[in-house]
Amino acid sequence: MKLFVLPLLLFVSASLSTENANSDYQAIETAVSYYLDGGTNNDFETLKKAFHPDARMISMGNDMMNVNALEFFGSRMKPGPPTDRKTRVVDINMSGNAASARLEIEYDDFMFVDYMSLLKMDGEWKIVSKVYTRVNK
């Protein structure tokens, strides 16, 4: 009987770990979906669920832009019809309470590629930084 206890404990521990990882993975997908759906539907209230209040948004154009993400979107996003674009979560990587997600937002003649950094804080996944680039087709 004792010989089977250790393998059983290892199996239960691995199952719980996988279950927690799947739950976290789904929570990360939910967080980035708030960002994508809020942006597509011009819904700032949905979009802001994705971000930590101090989240930064950084990009390089002619000059480097480094701004508070929520202030940026809040000042520019206006209610209106959904935006004609395709969105997709390309990749999610997670280790402990840190994660990254690569997203693509496709328009007719260009695409944004977003790299999101997320942290699990108080049991909730939030985007803490967004680095992005624009790619012409």
Residues whose CB falls within 8 Å of the CB of residue 46, separated by 6 or more in sequence, listed in order: 34, 37, 38
Question: How many angstroms separate the CA atoms of 13 and 1, rounded?
Answer: 19
Hey, what amino acid is at 72? F
Of the given ranges (5-9, 81-85, 120-124, 130-134), which has the lowest mean pLDDT? 5-9
pLDDT single digits (tens) 60-99: 877 888 999 999 999 999 989 999 999 999 999 999 999 9
Domain segments of the chain as ranges:
2-136
DSSP string, the chain: -HHHHHHHHHHHHHHHHHHHHHHHHHHHHHHHHHHHHHHHTT-HHHHGGGEEEEEEEEEESSSEEEEEHHHHHHHH----SPP--EEEEEEEEEETTEEEEEEEEE-SSEEEEEEEEEEEETTEEEEEEEEEEEEE-
% of the chain with per-residue pLDDT over 70: 85
Model confidence at 7: pLDDT above 60:
no
Q: Select, from the ranges 14-28, 59-73, 121-135, the one with the highest average predicted confidence (pLDDT).
A: 121-135
| Multiple choice CATH, 2-136, 3.10.450.50, 3.40.50.2300, 3.40.50.1220, 3.40.50.920 | 3.10.450.50
